[in-house]
Chain A
Amino acid sequence: MDSATNVYSIGKPAREIDNDILKPVESFPTKTWWVVFSIATTVMLIMWGIIGYTFKVGLGPLGINNPVGWGFYIINFVFWIGIGHAGTLISAILYLFRQRWRTTINRAAEAMTIFAVMTALIFPVIHLGRPWMVFFFFPYPNERGPIWPNFKSPLLWDVFAISTYFTVSLIFWFMGLVPDIATMRDRLNNQESDSKFGKLWLNFKRGVSNVLSIGWVGSGKTWIHYEKMVLILAAMSTPLVFSVHSIVSMDFATSVIPGWHATIFPPYFVAGAIYSGFAMVMTLMIITREVFQLKQYITLKHLENMAIVILLTGMMVSFAYTIEFVIAAYSGNKIEQYAFLNRLKGPYAWGFWTMFTCNVVSPHFMWFKKLRTNIPFLFFITIIVNIGMWFERYVIVVISLHRDYIPSSWDLYSPTWVDYSVLIGSFGWFFFWYLLFVRILPQIAIAEVKADEYGDQVAKGMGH
């Protein structure tokens, strides 16, 4: 492609690209950053305090009861895992499809994946009741029999799926960072400081970037292998991301609870995950481009493309909702039919209708170019979509559980202060990591931006 026709071209010399992207890393954080960071940290610390409290007294203070054995913790788990999926979609799937617009957003999206999975991982562990027994998950030769986990259980598949997902995402993200950290390392050579503290700080930064750049010098021989590695990791992450949320959905689908026992669950969950994840990426990108003056890198066109993905996946999710109702009606199974009527008219109908408004109605605003290029409106929609996707999991978990087969065992679920604080705290934990990330690592893949920018030049120069 000619650089004149490349709408994503930045049109700046390489050194200025470095300056722009590394500015937040190399300057002292602003007051706003400190304020937001302290709020996130406080909320996070409160969450850990409350989690510590439940470690001491058990799960009694939670809202869960006999029919509704899965409450906010599992809802949050599915929600955060879903958020993570968009990062892999952007970094791996859009890479394989050679979508150029992913270049500037993929680093931040991958970081979001890692932090979202870190958030999600908290929940199954603290929901164990006896979290110190978490090592029972892992099959290793032991002196307890040996006693092994049940390989037929989707809950165990989840352990493998999510730990693999986290590890592979981390490898992919870190290896992507290596050339950029090398750029940071070599820029530190030109810096000097007069004050004693400044010198100490500079040496510290040099030490860290030396270690993290693992001796990268941009050698051609290494680049050739590196490119193949990125391709393989992208190709492996693509089926991985589908498998992870499919397996999460099987936690529900392989049980016999009405409303859960459906074969549509895996694709439905994957579409929902990408939907909510893209909304979260967009929320973060809109803030990032404003705060760090990266509007040249993350343009309106990028946001528009993401809005179109949200429209597409939103419609897939709506389609899945419809299919669920149609199949329930068609099944002739009284209990299944009741479960879905209960969603529409039961005591938690407000949850269903919140979900419906947020997830089915709101993406359709994206059909209009005026609306999908209006940034405050986009920001509003992304928040709405994420609220809707949280309520989708609420509907699935709570509405299905609170009325199952025997009416005598029916009960209502009301979350307690512990549930609410841990939900809010999980956002604190996520933003704690994300805010640290934007200040210590380049949030746009510098080497990839340059490769896109100057790749055209190479093609022309070589007369291809």
Chain B
Amino acid sequence: MSIFTDIKKGLYRYEEPNGGWVATVKDAPALLKAAEKARDAGVKDFDVFSPFPIHGLEKAMGLSRSWIPFFSLCGGIFGATFAFASMTLIDVFSWTIIHGGKPAWPWPAYIPITFELMVLFTAFFTLGTTLYLGRLGKISRRPLVNSVTSDGFAIWIGGNLSKQEVENMLQGSAIMIQEVPRK
């Protein structure tokens, strides 16, 4: 049972910022601290924005580890099974051709293609899960703060807090706080 809750916990999706406040901070360590404060204050909807991945972000945001590898594994198992089963079905049941006196079901010769399709489907499943969980593909989306794809760091805090509450929560580490319009 616990593994299912674990999987579910590791499949958090990106949420579009809707209402609340966005605050910019100085650098990556400040962003991690801000995320920890939001986590400790029990804010439900918040996200951080940074130009590069930051080590220790899961812990700071109070998220569990990503379960993407589980779906990669599913993809791998699917690809390998699909390849091996199709070749078996084709060679044994659809049209058996004996080449060079080799057996009708030459399973060792299937290993290379089985391996290749395993890798291919692992990649597809990994990519698909990442796109799904990141809600990527919505090309009209823009960052709340323009600089977060260059040198800026920002935290979005959702919910019905007032500006003062957000400022208190971040304990003065916020450089600028802006309201995020509600959709």
Contact = CB atoms under 8 A, between A and B. Distances in A.
B177 interface: no
A217 interface: yes
A217 B134 CA distance: 10
B51 A139 contact: no
A227 interface: yes
Interface string B60-76: 01010110110010000
A239 B150 contact: no
B90 interface: yes
A228 B73 CA distance: 13
B18 to A, nearest CB: 14
Given A161-B116, A240-B119, A458-B56, A14 B134 contact: no
A218 B14 contact: no
B52 A447 contact: yes
Contacts of B142: 186, 217
A157 B108 CA distance: 13
Contact of A220 (B35, B110, B147, B150): B35
Given A148-B94, A189-B146, A458-B28, A225 B57 contact: no
Nearest to A227: B53
B150 A228 contact: no
B27 interface: yes
Given A148-B90, A218-B143, A229 B57 contact: no
Contacts of A346: none
Interface in B21-70: 27-30, 32, 35, 47-58, 61, 63, 65-66, 68-69
Interface in A99-158: 139, 145-148, 150-154, 156-157
A226 interface: yes
Interface of A: 13-15, 18, 139, 145-148, 150-154, 156-157, 160-161, 164, 167-168, 171-172, 175, 178-179, 182-183, 185-187, 189, 210-211, 213-229, 232-233, 236, 239-240, 243, 247, 250, 446-448, 450-451, 454-455, 457-462, 464
Interface string B134-167: 1111111111101111110000000000000000
A148 B133 contact: no
B183 interface: no
Contacts of B63: 221, 224
Given A152-B109, A179-B149, 17 more contacts: A13-B151, A161-B116, A167-B120, A215-B136, A216-B149, A221-B134, A236-B123, A239-B119, A243-B115, A450-B52, A451-B53, A454-B27, A455-B54, A458-B32, A459-B55, A461-B32, A462-B56
B9 interface: no
Given A214-B137, A220-B61, A240-B119, A232 B47 contact: no
A221 B147 CA distance: 18
15 contacts: A13-B151, A14-B151, A18-B150, A145-B95, A151-B109, A161-B112, A215-B136, A215-B138, A217-B142, A225-B134, A229-B129, A232-B122, A236-B72, A247-B112, A458-B54
Contact of B149 (A183, A448, A464): A183
B150 A222 contact: no
A130 B183 CA distance: 58
Interface of B: 12-15, 27-30, 32, 35, 47-58, 61, 63, 65-66, 68-69, 72, 86-87, 90-91, 94-95, 97, 99, 102, 106, 109-110, 112-113, 115-117, 119-120, 122-123, 126-127, 129-131, 133-144, 146-151
Contacts of B151: 13-15, 18
A233 B72 CA distance: 9
Given A215-B140, A236-B119, A461 B150 contact: no
A221 B27 contact: no
Contacts of A167: 120, 123
A461 B28 contact: yes
A447 B53 contact: yes
Contact of B95 (A18, A148, A233): A148
A446 B112 CA distance: 36
A204 B134 CA distance: 26
A15 B150 contact: yes
A232 B68 contact: yes
A420 B13 CA distance: 54
Contact of B139 (A215, A454, A455, A461): A215
Contact of B134 (A157, A226, A460): A226
A217 B143 contact: yes
B29 A151 contact: no
Nearest to A181: B149
Given A220-B47, A227-B53, A150 B99 contact: yes
B12 A221 contact: yes
A458 B109 CA distance: 50
